[in-house]
């Protein structure tokens, strides 16, 4: 018996001006319950699929990148549709443009990517129930403990790019 992969998977904004395709499954899917994500989404959490940027192809439109603050103080860049302003993905200062955090709710089939982990549950809304079958941590986590081996290997492959990006960021700081 063979099962067909749901990837590539497509998604986009509400007005369909911005469309993208994820070529492969993401590295990992975070359901973040921090107050920053609650504020930015206007909901009780954010569901983000972490994936290498070169595995996300822009099919149409050009997102507007908005610099926003983050809890780390380093900020994040949120890619939004310039027409309907829906956030389709973001990039954080730690990995910059090498990784994208695709908003799972913008996929045409968002049920393809349930969370692999719930993070920052110390600030989750008290009425949100987390299934006992999904790992949940009070803050962030040790990726070596939770990520599958294939995702850890993919991360190792892009680590030199991330390190080069971080070195360039440090060099540019006044």
**The sheet that has 19-22: what strands, in order across it?**
9-12, 19-22, 56-60
Classify residue 83: in a domain, yes or no. yes
pLDDT of amino acid 56: 98
Q: What is the total count of domains within the chain? A: 1
Classify residue 92: in a domain, yes or no. yes
Classify residue 54: in a domain, yes or no. yes
Tokens of 42: 């206007």
The H-assigned helical ranges of the chain are 35-41, 143-146, 149-172
pLDDT of amino acid 136: 97
**12: nearest Cα among 49, 47, 60:** 60
Tokens of 121: 């549950």
Enter the pTM of the model. Answer: 0.92
Domain range enclosing 75: 9-124+131-172
Classify residue 161: in a domain, yes or no. yes
**Contacts for 3-6: CB closer than 8 Å, 24+ residues apart:** 6/109, 6/112
Classify residue 2: in a domain, yes or no. no
pLDDT of amino acid 68: 86
- Residues of the chain with pLDDT below 70 are 1-4, 174
Q: Is 137 exposed, middle or buried (0-12, 13-18, 19+ CB in 10 A)?
A: middle
CATH code for position 50: 3.90.1590.10
Tokens of 58: 């822009």
User: How many of the other CB atoms lie within 10 Å of CB of 82?
Assistant: 13
pLDDT of amino acid 74: 76
Classify residue 3: in a domain, yes or no. no
pLDDT of amino acid 21: 98
For the chain, percent of residues with pLDDT exceeding 70: 97
Classify residue 84: in a domain, yes or no. yes
Tokens of 162: 């991330």
User: What is d(CA 40, CA 145) in angstroms, rounded to the nearest whole number?
Assistant: 28
pLDDT of amino acid 174: 65
**57: nearest Cα among 88, 28, 78, 96:** 88
pLDDT of amino acid 109: 97
**What's the angle, vertex CA 13, arms to CA 66 and CA 150, rounded to 5?**
85
pLDDT of amino acid 25: 97
């Amino acid at each position: 018996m063979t099962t067909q992969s749901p990837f590539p998977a497509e998604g986009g904004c509400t007005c369909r001006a911005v469309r993208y395709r994820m070529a492969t499954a993401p590295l990992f899917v975070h359901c973040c319950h921090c107050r920053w994500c609650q504020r930015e989404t206007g909901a009780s959490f954010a569901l983000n699929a972490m994936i290498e940027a070169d595995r996300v192809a822009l099919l149409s439109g050009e997102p507007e990148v908005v610099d926003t603050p983050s809890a780390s103080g380093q900020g994040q860049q949120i890619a939004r549709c310039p027409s309907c302003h829906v956030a389709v993905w973001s990039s954080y200062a730690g990995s910059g443009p090498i990784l994208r955090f695709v908003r799972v709710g913008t996929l045409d089939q968002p049920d393809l990517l349930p969370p692999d982990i719930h993070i920052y549950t110390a600030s989750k809304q008290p009425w949100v129930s987390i299934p006992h079958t999904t790992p949940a941590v009070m803050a962030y986590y040790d990726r070596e403990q939770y990520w599958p081996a294939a995702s850890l290997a993919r991360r190792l492959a892009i680590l030199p790019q991330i390190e080069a990006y971080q070195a360039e960021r440090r060099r540019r700081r006044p």
